[in-house]
Amino acid sequence: MKSTLSLLACLLTGASATIYYAGVAESGGEFGVYSSTATPGFGLPGTFGVDYQFINQAGVDVHVDQNHLNLFRIAFLLERMCPVATGLGASFNETHFDLFKDAVDYVTVTKGAYAILDPHNYMRYNDPSSQPYSGSVIGNTSDVTAATTAQFGEFWGELAGRFADNEKVIFGLMNEPHDMPSSLVLENNQAAIDAIRATGAENLIIMPGNSWTGGHAWTEGTDPSSAVMYQFKDPVNNTALDIHEYLDVDFSGGHSECVSAPETYLANLTEWLKTYQLKAFITEFGGANNTGCAAMLTDMVDYMADNEEYIGWTAWAAGPFWGASSPCCTDSLQLGSLEPGSTAADGSPGLYTTVWLETLQPLVPSLLQWSGGASVAGGELVAFSG
C-alpha cells in the first residue's frame, strides 16, 4: 500500500525518480581555433574573453537561481591547458588553468551546482585547427607526433589531483572520440581512470565510447562500443557512460528537423546498460524551434526519466560563444543558444526563449541532488533552496 501511494505521488508530481543532475553544456572554452580568423595559426593560445571563454556568470546565475539547474558541462581545449610546445601531460599553462578553475569554482562553490570538466578534443591532441578531424589520435603508436595513452593518463592525474577535494566536480574524460579503434578509446579511458584514482580522487567519472559516443551507434557496425566499453575497471565503482544523441536524420545535430525518435534509437544502448548494470549521462542533445523537435525533445527527456539507467543530462548548448556563430544554424528559427538573454543573429528570440523556456525548462525535475558527491548511485533529491 505504501509503495502504491508513493508511486502515485511520484506520478502526480511528475518528478523523476532517477534523474539526479540536469542542466546545460557551456560552450565557449573550445572556441577560437576554427571559427575565428582573429588569431593567426591555430588560434592558440588565443585571447581569453575574445577568442574563447568558459562561462558567463550572469547566465549561470539565471540557470541556477531561476531555472534551478544543477549541472553544467564546461568545455576546454587540451592544447590550451597543455601547450603543444610542452606536450600533453602534467605540465599545465597555469594562467589558463586558473581561468578555467575560476569558472569551475563559480559553478560548484559559488552556485552550489555540479560541473563536468569537458576536454573538447575528440580523443585528438596537437592540432585543433580543423576540429573534429584535425590532430593526432591519442595513443596512435603508428604516429610519432601523437600523444601517448600514458600522457593522457598523466594529464588526467594532474587535473584530478587539483579537483579531488571538490566533490561537485565530475570528470568527463573526453568529448566524442571517433574514427579510431574502440579498443583504443577503452585503453585511453582506462589510463585516465587509473591515474585519477591513483590521486585518491573518488569523484564521479563519465567516460565516452567511440563513434562520437552516439547512443544510436552504440551497438552498431564492425567495431561497436558495446563490444568493449563494459570492460573498464574503476576501483571505487564511480564511473558512468557519457552519451551524445541528436534527433536529426544523421544524429549530427546539424539539421533542423527532429526525426530520430529517442525511444527507438536508444533502446539497444539501454539494454546494454541494463546488462552490465551501468549508468549513463546524455551530455549532448538538442533541437531547433519547430513543433516536431518540441515533441521529440520532450520524448527524449521523458525517456531518460523513465529509464533508471539514465541519471543526468545536459542539453547543447548554453555558454558565452554558442549561438549566432554556431555552425549548426542557417536561419532565424534555429539561430541562438540556450544562454539566458541571447538572441538569434537577426535579433529575434533565440533558442533560450523558443526551445529552452518553451520545451525543456518545464521538464527539469523539481527535485535534484544539491549536496554531497556526484555518484552513479545519485544522492538525496531535494527542491532548490537557494
Ligand X SMILES: *[C@@H]1O[C@H](CO)[C@@H](O)[C@H](O)[C@H]1NC(C)=O
Residues acting as catalytic residues: 176, 284
The distance of closest approach from Cβ of residue 48 to ligand X in the complex, given in angstroms and rounded to an integer, is 5
- Tell which positions 305-344 bind ligand X, by CB under 6 A: 332-333
3-state SS string for 99-138: HHHHHHHHHHHHCCCEEEEEECCCCEECCCCCCCCCCEEC
Q: Which of 102, 143, 165, 250 binds ligand X (CB under 6 A)?
A: 143
Residue 95 touches ligand X, criterion: CB under 6 A: yes
Q: Which of 22, 137, 191, 293 binds ligand X (CB under 6 A)?
A: 137
Q: Which of 18, 199, 348, 361 binds ligand X (CB under 6 A)?
A: 348
Specify the stretch interacting with ligand X by CB under 6 A; choose among 57-65, 186-194, 242-250, 346-354: 346-354
Residue 57 touches ligand X, criterion: CB under 6 A: no
- Which residue pairs from 325-333 have beta carbons closer than 8 angstroms and sit at least 24 positions apart in sequence? 325/35, 326/27, 327/35, 327/254, 328/253, 328/254, 329/288, 330/256, 331/256, 333/256, 333/288, 333/289, 333/290
CB 190 within 8 A of CB 228: no
CA distance 286 to 209: 20
- Tell which positions 37-56 bind ligand X, by CB under 6 A: 45, 48
The distance of closest approach from Cβ of residue 260 to ligand X in the complex, given in angstroms and rounded to an integer, is 9
Classified as helix, coil or strand, 321 is coil
Largest CA distance in the chain: 68
Task: Pick between residue 34 and residue 97 the one whose CB is nearest to ligand X.
Answer: 97
Task: Pick between residue 157 and residue 224 the one whose CB is nearest to ligand X.
Answer: 224
Residue 97 touches ligand X, criterion: CB under 6 A: no
The per-residue DSSP string of 12-38 comes to: HHT--SS--EEEEEE--TT-SSSS--S
Task: Pick between residue 68 and residue 245 the one whose CB is nearest to ligand X.
Answer: 245
Cell numbers given for 17:
525518480
List of residues contacting ligand X (CB under 6 A) = 45, 48, 83, 93, 95-96, 137, 140, 142-143, 180, 219, 236-237, 264-265, 268, 289-290, 332-333, 348-349, 354
